[in-house]
Amino acid sequence: MISDINFKGLLSIVIPAFNEQEVLPTFHERLATVLDALTIDAEILYVNDGSRDGTLEVMKILRAHDKRVAILDLSRNFGKEIAMTAGLEHARGDAVVVIDADLQDPPELIPELVKHWQQGWDMVYAQRIERRGETMVKKFTAYWFYRFMQRVGRRVHIPENVGDFRLLSRRAVDSLLQLREQHRFMKGLFAWIGFPQIGVPYQRDPRFAGRSTWDYWRLWNFALDGITSFTTTPLKWASYLGLITAFFSFAYGSIIVLQKLLYGNPVKGYPSLMVVVLFLGGIQLIFLGIIGEYLGRMFDETKRRPLYFVSSFDSPHQNSHAQGKSAMELDRE
């Protein structure tokens, strides 16, 4: 039974949201029902990531009817990874649950996450056994992306079929917040900090309402952030392929020189020359692109800008630990 869970302390629920006005009322109703059945203290922290619809107004209505609700309104849209980080920085809980507002991840699973946390696990992640409502292309690309990350992830194991829906202990949250990089691949950061982790299987539902902002272009850039944040393998591949290409080019050039010296070569060789030039030029441009991706991320990190700015923070505990340190203060340390 849900109510049998004896939890001492505070449970924080962090919900990053961008243009989710259609689903927020239903989401909050289901979440509140789950928390009401638990004999625990809880706070519900909504993070408005620069929404352009009525998401903030809906949050304020929820705040007026539920004293557990706090609203963190960011100054603009910084992206889900940053919004999630902002929520974690302002969460006061001894355990913190991160969940999306689109109801693909069921709030009813939270008691199971709490149960495993009570058993001593620092991170309890929800692991999808079925991804309903997603296209075959998205399932296929996600499958191979995580397979790739597991192979090249520099000793960091990123669990398969795991999103951001999870519970973190206080020490896991505090450790995670010490990582201040700009390009935040949170699934990798969750795995990188270590500590005991366990998965809880569940079936992921389709979106309850609205439309996802994660189109294929955004997913592609998200994948690039993950790859460049957690492995330098593409640079190594570029080096190895460059050496192999240079070796065969040198060998082919030597053969041409020998043929010219021994037998002469009346054929001008325009087609073969163009093939070689275009091939080598293409290889060089690909390698420059790979190097440029890493260089661009280094450029962003050296500027040391704060991760985000807060437009307002409405919480019943603003004068306590809930406020925490500002993003700028943390970046200056």
Cβ distance 4 to 38 under 8 Å? Answer: no
**Dihedral angle, C-alpha 229, 79, 22, 40, nearest 10 °:** 70
| pTM of the predicted model over 0.75 | no
**pLDDT tens, N- to C-terminus, the chain (333 residues):** 344 455 567 899 999 999 888 889 999 999 999 999 888 889 999 999 989 888 999 999 999 999 999 999 999 988 888 898 999 999 998 999 999 988 888 999 999 999 899 888 999 998 888 766 556 666 666 666 666 666 665 566 777 778 889 999 999 999 989 888 877 777 878 888 888 999 888 887 665 455 655 555 566 665 666 566 666 667 667 667 776 776 776 677 667 667 666 766 666 665 567 667 767 777 777 777 777 777 776 766 677 778 888 888 887 766 444 334 444 344 434
Residue 25, Cα to own-chain centre: how many angstroms?
25
Q: Which CATH superfamily is domain 9-213+305-332 in?
A: Spore Coat Polysaccharide Biosynthesis Protein SpsA; Chain A (3.90.550.10)
What is d(CA 121, CA 115) in angstroms, rounded to the nearest whole number?
9
| Six-digit token string for 302 | 């050296």
Q: Which residues contact 269 (CB under 8 A, 6 or more apart)?
A: none
Cβ distance 96 to 173 under 8 Å? Answer: yes
